[in-house]
Copies of this chain bind each other. A is one copy, B any other.
Amino acid sequence: MKEEDKLSPWKNKLHEIIYEADTPMGKLFDLILFFIIIFSVILIMLESVKSIDAEYHYVLLTLEWIVTIFFTIEYIARIVCIKKPKNYIFSFYGIIDFLSTIPLYLSYIFVGSQVFLAVRALRLLRVFRILKLVQFLGEASHLKSALKASRAKIIVFLFSVLIASVILGTLMYWVEGDEAGFTSIPTSIYWTIVTLTTVGYGDIAPITPQGQFIATVIMLLGYGIIAVPTGIVTAEFGRQNKDKSNDGEPGRYVHVNTQSCPTCSKEGHRDDATHCYNCGALLNE
């Protein structure tokens, strides 16, 4: 039984390289993978620019095939070198890996499936796995925890904004009508959110005085309530900073200097200390 559980040595080696980032080889693999992912995303972007695609179609296609084959090999390697392949295949990143590799093959099998080529952009999500490994995202976890702590408030806020948008949007539809571009209630709601979030495309804009008046109210509303999510998150950050600065332990704090005890070498004495807090010996002035 135990024999079966163990991977053969070369699989073990491969697992270390692909899934971990502690060995030089593992780090190198992650670095290469990182750049290939970025490169492949740039490829997808360039393909979508008509003028570039027209001129370099075959170059881009060849490079895309090379990248796809590399990702295919990587995908197979990931399955081979793990003890329980199902754990990988049905994990979040396993599905992302599969979805971002398969479209090119599908575009040859099924005519008209070219549209799925855009799915390849999901490759970018793979970058997060690499960044996770190399502990780049220490700060992100801090951000995440602040957002998580204020999640309930943010949901209530967004919900209120949505309800206000529906009611104000309906009002604007009723006030402005087709001429100004408020052709239906959903469109009006879309416009209301465009205005409330201060995006303001201008593709639709009120033309009647009443419409402009309501728009003014919506803008001032949006300008004012942007304070709410900001206030929520800021207060949360402030709270976290405070927690961190006193290790969660409330109480008084005094300033300590860098002087070290001449007897026991202990550092961190109060500025007005005359004796070492550790051994009781006299400190130098």
Contacts and interface: CB of A to CB of B under 8 A. Distances in A.
Q: Which 10 A-B pairs have the closest CB atoms?
A: A275-B280, A273-B277, A201-B202, A199-B200, A235-B237, A280-B280, A231-B233, A121-B170, A202-B202, A48-B185
Interface stretch (A17-25, A63-71, A87-95, A136-144): A136-144
Main secondary structure of the interface of A (DSSP, over half): helix
Interface size range of chain A in the complex: 35 or more
B198 A197 contact: yes
Interface stretch (A8-16, A72-80, A105-113, A246-254): A246-254
Contacts of A125: 163, 167
A190 B215 contact: yes
Nearest to A261: B275
29 contacts: A45-B189, A48-B184, A50-B184, A121-B185, A143-B153, A146-B231, A158-B224, A189-B216, A193-B216, A193-B219, A194-B200, A198-B198, A200-B201, A201-B202, A202-B203, A203-B205, A222-B223, A226-B229, A226-B230, A227-B230, A230-B231, A231-B234, A231-B237, A238-B238, A251-B257, A275-B275, A275-B280, A276-B280, A277-B277
Contacts of A258: 252
What is the oligomeric copy number? 4
A129 to B, nearest CB: 13
Interface in A141-157: 142-143, 146-147, 152-157
Contacts of A184: 45, 48-50
Contacts of A220: 158, 161, 193, 197
Contact of A234 (B142, B174, B222, B238): B238
A105 B253 CA distance: 62
A195 interface: yes
A239 B241 contact: yes
A145 to B, nearest CB: 12
B233 A228 contact: yes
A206 to B, nearest CB: 8
A140 B160 contact: yes
A182 B277 CA distance: 68
A282 interface: yes
